[in-house]
């Protein structure tokens, strides 16, 4: 029969409270929700309760180590909460302490992709899954202006909810195999602005827009009266990610991708002071 002693009751309450509070901490920081003042301050009494448990009751060595470990984890969570609250309220200058929470990595010189771009490299486009969370302000403007009822438009309703395709696993594999010279995620700003950031001085990415395999959602947006210039500046137009690779590695690269997201050539690297040159027109 379980003996509901004062010690067991206190320990049970502590463990339940601890699990609840640590769960809240992970929700706040892993999911990006900032704690409110009450959430932060209410944790301090629970930490003090842990100390009272340790001081006033007799535990065997294993139990003491377990509770002490939990107490240390909880203390760290509370300190981080107070730190974030201090930044939020202006009591702590963020520039002094924010580096404590930043991750760092060390790269060998031959792993720095920017320095690998050479003349005659190919510029490859990886197909996007859709809008990729860019240009929704313009989309909402069109919907409002055209008085489109999304409840009755199954095409738009489906397309606007398509998740953004994430390419990180493919890119990491390309880096591991040393097939990749540079890469660019095509977000707001479109092809030109995003590719321009990765091109070294005196090199140019010459892109043939006629080679872009656009998607139905972008053809629909174009049909609503959006100019080519605005389309290319606001949307990915079907290109979710760009790779710059050696011509000799092209076949090796495309083998690593599934059919739906297989890269294809849209340009090449040349010597020029203009970092990106767009030629031709997208075939909508």
**Alpha carbon 166 to chain centroid, angstroms:** 8
For the residues 190-206, what does the mean pLDDT come to? 94
pLDDT (tens digit per residue) in 125-153: 999 999 998 899 999 999 999 999 998 99
> Any residues with CB less than 8 A from the CB of 67 and at least 6 apart, and which?
11, 14, 50, 53, 54, 59
Q: What is the DSSP secondary-structure string of 185-242?
A: E--TTHHHHHHHTTPPTTEEEEEEGGG----HHHHHHHHTT--HHHHHHH--TTEEEE
- The angle formed by the CA atoms of residues 248, 251 and 256, to the nearest 5 degrees, is 130
CA 233 to chain centre: 21
pLDDT of the residue at 90: 55
Cα separation of 217 and 215, whole Å?
6
Q: Strands of 182-185's sheet, edge to edge?
A: 182-185, 239-245, 122-127, 264-271, 203-208, 276-279
Give percent above pLDDT 90 in the chain: 54
Q: Which two tokens stand for residue 242?
A: 């760009």
pLDDT of residue 10: 59
The pLDDT of residue 253 is above 80? yes
Task: Tell me the domain boundaries of the chain.
Answer: 6-101, 109-279
Distance CA 124, CA 213 (A): 12
Rounded average pLDDT over 116-133? 95
Maximum mean pLDDT: which of 7-16, 96-105, 192-201:
192-201
Write down the mean pLDDT value for the chain: 80
87 versus 72: which is more confidently predicted? 72
More confident residue, 109 or 160: 160
- Tell me what pLDDT residue 1 has: 44
Which pLDDT value is given to residue 266? 98
Average pLDDT on 8-13 reads: 61
Residue 37 has a pLDDT of 44
Residue 101, pLDDT > 70, answer no
**Per-residue confidence band for 98, with pLDDT thresholds at 50, 70 and 90:** very low
Q: What is the mean pLDDT of residues 267-284?
A: 95
Residue scoring higher pLDDT (22 or 1): 22
Q: Which fold has domain 109-279?
A: Phosphoribosyl-aminoimidazole Synthetase; Chain A, domain 2 (3.90.650)
We find that the CATH architecture of domain 6-101 is: Up-down Bundle (1.20)
Kindly report, residue by residue over 30-84, the tens digit of the pLDDT. 544 444 444 554 555 555 655 665 555 566 666 666 666 666 666 666 666 666 5
């Amino acid at each position: 029969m379980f003996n509901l002693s004062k010690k067991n009751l206190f320990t049970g309450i502590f463990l339940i409270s601890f699990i609840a509070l640590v769960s809240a901490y992970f929700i706040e920081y892993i999911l990006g929700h900032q704690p409110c003042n009450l959430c932060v301050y209410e944790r301090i009494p629970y930490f003090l309760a842990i100390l009272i448990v340790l001081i006033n009751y007799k535990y065997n060595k294993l139990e003491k180590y377990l509770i002490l470990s939990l107490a240390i984890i909880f203390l760290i969570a509370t300190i981080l909460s107070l730190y974030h609250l201090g930044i939020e309220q202006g009591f702590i200058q963020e520039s002094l302490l924010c580096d404590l929470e930043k991750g760092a990595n060390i790269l060998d010189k031959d792993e720095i992709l920017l320095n690998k771009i050479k003349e005659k490299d190919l510029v490859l486009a990886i197909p996007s899954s859709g809008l990729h969370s860019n240009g929704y302000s313009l989309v909402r403007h069109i919907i409002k202006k055209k008085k489109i009822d999304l409840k009755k438009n199954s095409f738009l309703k489906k397309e606007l909810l398509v998740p953004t395709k994430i390419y990180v696993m493919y890119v990491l594999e390309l880096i591991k195999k040393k097939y990749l010279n540079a890469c660019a995620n095509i977000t707001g700003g479109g092809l030109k602005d995003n590719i321009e950031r990765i091109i070294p001085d005196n090199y140019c990415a010459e892109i043939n827009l006629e080679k872009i395999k656009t998607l139905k959602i972008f053809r629909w947006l174009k049909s609503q009266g959006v100019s080519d210039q605005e389309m290319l500046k606001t949307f990915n137009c079907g290109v979710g990610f760009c790779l710059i690779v050696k011509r000799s590695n092209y076949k090796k690269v495309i083998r690593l991708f599934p059919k739906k997201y297989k890269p294809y050539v849209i340009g090449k690297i040349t010597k020029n002071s203009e970092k990106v040159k767009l030629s031709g027109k997208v075939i909508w």
